[in-house]
Structures are given as structure tokens and as C-alpha cells.
Amino acid sequence: MMIRSVSTQPYDDQKPGTSGLRKKVPHFQQANYVENFVQSIFDSLEGFEGKALVVGGDGRYFNREVIQIVMKMAAAAGFGKVIVGQGGILSTPAASNVIRQSGAFGGIILSASHNPGGPKEDFGIKYNTGNGGPAPEKVTAEIYARTKSISEYKIIDAPDLDLDALGDFDLGGMTVSVVDPVAAYAELMESLFDFPAIKAMFDGGFTMSFDAMHAVTGPYATEILENRLGAAKGTVKNGTPLPDFGGHHPDPNLVHAKELYDLMMSADAPDFGAASDGDGDRNLIIGKGIFVTPSDSLALLAANAHLAPGYKGGLSGIARSMPTSGAADRVAEKLGIESYETPTGWKFFGNLLDADKATICGEESAGTGSNHVREKDGLWAVLLWLNILAARKEPAKDIVAAHWREYGRNYYTRHDYEGIDADAAEGLMAHLRAELSSLPGTKINGLFVSMADDFSYHDPVDGSVSENQGVRVMFEDGSRMVFRLSGTGTAGATLRVYLERLATDPDKLALETQSALADVIGAAEDLAGIKQRTGRDAPDVIT
Ligand code: VG1
Ligand code: CO
């Protein structure tokens, strides 16, 4: 085998964000940009010689090229094996599963998730550790440090490998196993959920629409929903992964999955609607006539998880990211189990899952998952919903209404201001931070502030501390607003404003969300001066 050492210069912008390194494709196509980052990952790891590395991505533009580079660099670095999904495809949760089941040292997942794909759009590289989860901050910090001093990378000279044929191949003395990306994942789902009951429900005429958004979940959803569970052909829409996602944003929210939303609100809606994102780790749940917020979905799934065989023994705890609504907390309280509040990003759930402190985790951004893998899992959430619907034999809308009557309803919305000027965004956050200590006791837009801080997380397992994870302002009536900047965008800055109010009065459970939150929304504008600082009159995306 011919290992070539190539000298290189560091780039100063390879800091991983909420979920890996994300940039525009042309940015990644700069000389050695990919190689520098991959070598920096390898340089910050120890003890992988002879072991396996899992590699796969969501099929977006540039996926195949980068996989060839990663494989040749893994061979040069001394990995014994690379396990890669056929066609270079592995959804994020499926990659997590392959890492865990194969006992691999770790994995490299190529995705920019819900961001658009194509020659001018987004790409991303993320490292996952041997537990199958995104590298914790300690590891990403080491990778970043390495990117700033790198002077050389190693790669073997070899022709590109065919990623479309299944089987074991030799690449410069290292084995490359090209595996079916769907099979092991589908087996895992079958082991967790009551497939016969769900199948009986479909056989009995239950209808569903699943929008795979031309992204990675298509083959998984087709195999599981249509082939194994007997859902009607055509249940899965946009099921063929495309390198540019058909020109759309593969982001399952009310803006980008509007067609599904409109269908579900119409007179001929099927019984249940769902969608997933670019890399298959997010989910959107829409029952006939009702959109279920991801925060509510987390609470509902936790409250009903015991109806699925994989969770019949109950949950050890529930974890949610800080901006996610408190709906799940009250479920935990009722179940008599712990609840945890972590910073945004799935990497913070890994320790809680590994230590069995939490069984189910979720984020307001349409991510839910459990201890079956170490990533959020879109299709898993959809299947747990189907299992619950099959067991309770009630429409989703009634299940949600009953949940609100029992626990109260957390009205919740997120307002995103995308692509704003980075300095203006930093200025807005700095201004908020400077105000924090003087806020308690004051009144904003008619609401009394009870507490205000910049969230910091103390990991109960490894004792690490993560600071500056979002500004929170709590009001005396129990409502709340949170401000943070996105760590996944690739152009300018994105301001996320999260707004929430708990209603327990049975007469106030059916209000329209934006009006139920109008005064909290007004308070956010009053305090942060969003219009004046960003020049924007309204959010780009409301979820
Ligand atoms: C967003 C979401 C966060 C999620 C992350 C990765 O991060 O808010 O909850 O974990 O995306 O999801 P940010 O920093 O932009 O708010 V995905 O589906 O991109 O892997
Ligand atoms: Co995703």
C-alpha cells in the first residue's frame, strides 16, 4: 500500500457547531478542506488501529466524493475496516445503530441534516464515538484545536471503490464492507415495536401519508411502512433520495412540509401524517386535523411508551433540551422518574443514555429518540406513534386532547430570524446578557420577570460544564422566553426565539398558538429589540 503524506495549511474556520462542521459545498471543495478536517478527527483519537470506522451520509451532493476520501484516509491512518452503507447511504440513526452493533471504534456521518443540498448548498461532516453518539464537546474541542495546527495529512493512492455493490472489498490492505443501509435498522425497529398490531391497523384500513422529502429516510420508510407493515403503496411520498432533495429544504416543519400540513387539515386527510428530515433523525407528526408540536410529541411518547414492547418495563428518566417545552417534565413527575434539561444538540444526551439515567430524549426542533441508538431518530418516533395509535385505537387528535386535559397544555412556538447580520446577532445577545441581572422583579409587556439567566449545564455523569447555552427569561405566570443563536447555519446568523406558556384551565386548551402567546411574543420584542437590531419585521420561519 502506498501511503502519501501531503503537506497542508490550517483553515481557521473548522470549528464544529451544534452538530458537526457545516459549510457550503464550494467551501468544502477548497483545496484540502475535507482532508484537513478528517485528518484532524483521526489525530485527536487514540487506539483505533485495526478497528472499524463506520461511514455514511444522507446522499446529498458531494457525499460520494467525500466518502472516497474518508476511506482512503482511514486506510492510511491504520483503521482495519470501514463499514459503509450501499451507495454511501446511511441515515443518522442507522449509522448510530451500525456503530453500536458492529462494535466499531466510531463513525463519520456526512450530512447537513435539514439544510438544503446541491452544488451551491450545504454539506457537513460529523464524528460519532463508539457509543454511536455525536462526539461530546471535549472531543470536538480537540478536533478543532488540531485543525488550527495541522500541517500534513495521510492518504493512500488507490482507485475509487464501487459503493453500489454489496460485499467486502480490499482498499490498500484495509477491508471495506459495503452493507445494506436499511436491513439492520429495520430489524431494530421490529424488535422495539408491536409490528403485528400496527400491521393489523393498516390492514383494517388505517391510512397514512409519510413525506420523506427526497431525503435519506425514503428507503427506510418504504421498507418498514409499506413492505413490512402493509401500509398502502404510495404511503411514502418523495421516497427517492436526491442529491439536491428536489430543490427543497428537507426540513420537516410547517413551512417546508406545508403540503403535508395542508393535506392533514383537509377533508380528505388520511388518519396520520409524518415527515422526516435530510438525514432521517427528525420527525414531524401531524394527526388528522392536528399538528403535534415536537415538545408535546415528546411528552406524549413518554407518557405512552409502555404500550410498545421495547419500553413495557417503563422509562428510567426523560431528558429534553433546555428550549424544549416543559410538557415532558410533568410526565416525568407523574411517572415518578427523573427529568433532565440539557443544552441544545443531541451530543448532550449521550452520557444520560449511557448511564441509563434517561430512556427517552427530545428536542423542540423535531428530534426525539431513545436508548436504542445515540442519535435522534425520525422513523422511530413515527413508529412509536403508530404503536400507540394501534394500542389505544383512538385518533391522534383525541389522544392529544386527553393529554392536555390530564397534564395541561404548553403553548409553544419558535420564531426564527434567518441569515441576519452576524454582528447584529451577537450584539443582540450581548445586550440581553448585560440586562440579565437587572431583570428579575421588572415588568416586560405586562409580564413580571421571576428569573433570568444564561443557561449553563452541569453534566451529572462526567461533571463537565457547558456555559452560555441560551438566555432564558421566566415570568411569574409560568411563561418563558429563550433566545439563542443557531449553531448549524452556514450563512450569517440565525436567531431563535422560543416562547412558551402553560395553560391548565380546561377552557383554555384550544386556543390558537400565536394568540395564546401574544404577550410573551411582545415581551421578547420589547426586551431584545429584534426589529431595530436585525431590521426584520417578522420571523422567517414560525414553528
Ligand atoms: C438545530 C436544532 C437542534 C438540533 C440541531 C441538529 O441546532 O435547534 O435542536 O439538535 O439543529 O439537528 P441549532 O444550533 O441550529 O439551533 V439536525 O437534524 O441538523 O442533525
Ligand atoms: Co437531522
310-347 residue pLDDT tens: 999 999 999 999 999 999 999 999 999 999 999 999 99
- For residue 6, the SS3 value is strand
Q: What distance in angstroms lies between residue 336's CA and the mean position of ligand 1's atoms?
A: 29
Domain 409-542: top CATH class:
alpha beta
Cβ-based neighbour number of residue 169 at 10 Å: 16
- pLDDT, residue 94, reads 98
Q: Give the number of the ligand closest to the Cα of residue 22.
A: 1
Query: In the prediction, which pLDDT does 117 show?
Result: 96
Give the HSE-up count for residue 177: Cα atoms under 13 Å, Cβ half-sphere.
16
Per-residue pLDDT, 232: 97
> Can you tell me the distance from the alpha carbon of 469 to that of 453, in angstroms, rounded to the nearest whole number?
10
Q: Which position has the grid cell 395541561?
A: 408
Protein residue with its CA nearest to atom 4 in ligand 1 = 345
User: What grid cell was written down for 517?
Assistant: 402567546
Q: Tell me the one-letter amino acid at 367.
A: G
Report the predicted TM-score, pTM, of the whole model to 2 decimal places.
0.94
Paired with 455 in beta bridges are none
Residue-level length of the chain: 543
Please tell me the distance between residue 486's alpha carbon and the centre of ligand 1 in angstroms. Answer: 8
CA distances from 221 to 46, 151, 215, 276, 294 (A): 37, 44, 11, 10, 20
- Catalytic residue flag (residue 370): no
**200 contacts 119 by C-beta, under 8 angstroms:** no
Residue whose C-alpha is closest to residue 155's, from 1, 358, 347: 1
Q: How do beta strands 480-485 and 493-503 pair? A: antiparallel
What is the CB < 6 Å shell around ligand 1? 18-19, 113-114, 277, 281-282, 321, 344-346, 363, 365, 367, 486-488, 496
Is residue 156 within a helix (H) or strand (E), and if so which, with residue range? Answer: strand 152-156
Which residue's C-alpha comes closest to atom 1 of ligand 1? Answer: 488
Which atom of ligand 1 is found nearest the CA of 488? 15
How far does the chain reach from its first CA to its final CA, in angstroms? 52
CA separation for the pair 345, 343 (Å, rounded): 6
Q: 498, 403 in Cβ contact below 8 A? A: no
Query: Residue whose CA is closest, atom 6 of ligand 1?
Result: 19
From 318, 356, 324, 359, select the one nearest 340 (Cα to Cα): 318
Name the amino acid, one letter, at 31: A
In the CATH hierarchy, which top-level class contains the domain 3-181?
Answer: alpha beta
Among all chains, which residue has been given the C-alpha cell 413580571?
Answer: 448
Nearest-angstrom CA–CA distance, 248 and 109 = 21
Fold identical between 185-407 and 409-542?
no
The amino acid present at 80, given as its one-letter code, is G
Find the 114 Cα to ligand 1 centroid distance in Å. 9
CA-to-CA distance for 442 and 449, rounded, in angstroms?
6
Q: What is the model's pLDDT at position 230?
A: 97
Tell how far the Cα of 405 is from the centroid of ligand 2, in angstroms: 32
Whose atoms come closest to the Cα of 20: which ligand? 1
Q: Could you say which DSSP state residue 231 is in?
A: P
Pick the catalytic residue from 19, 102, 111, 113: 113
For the CA of 363, the closest atom of ligand 1 is 9
Residues of the chain with pLDDT under 70: 1
- Going from N- to C-terminal start, the domains of the chain cover 3-181, 185-407, 409-542
Superfamily of domain 185-407: Alpha-D-Glucose-1,6-Bisphosphate, subunit A, domain 3 (3.40.120.10)
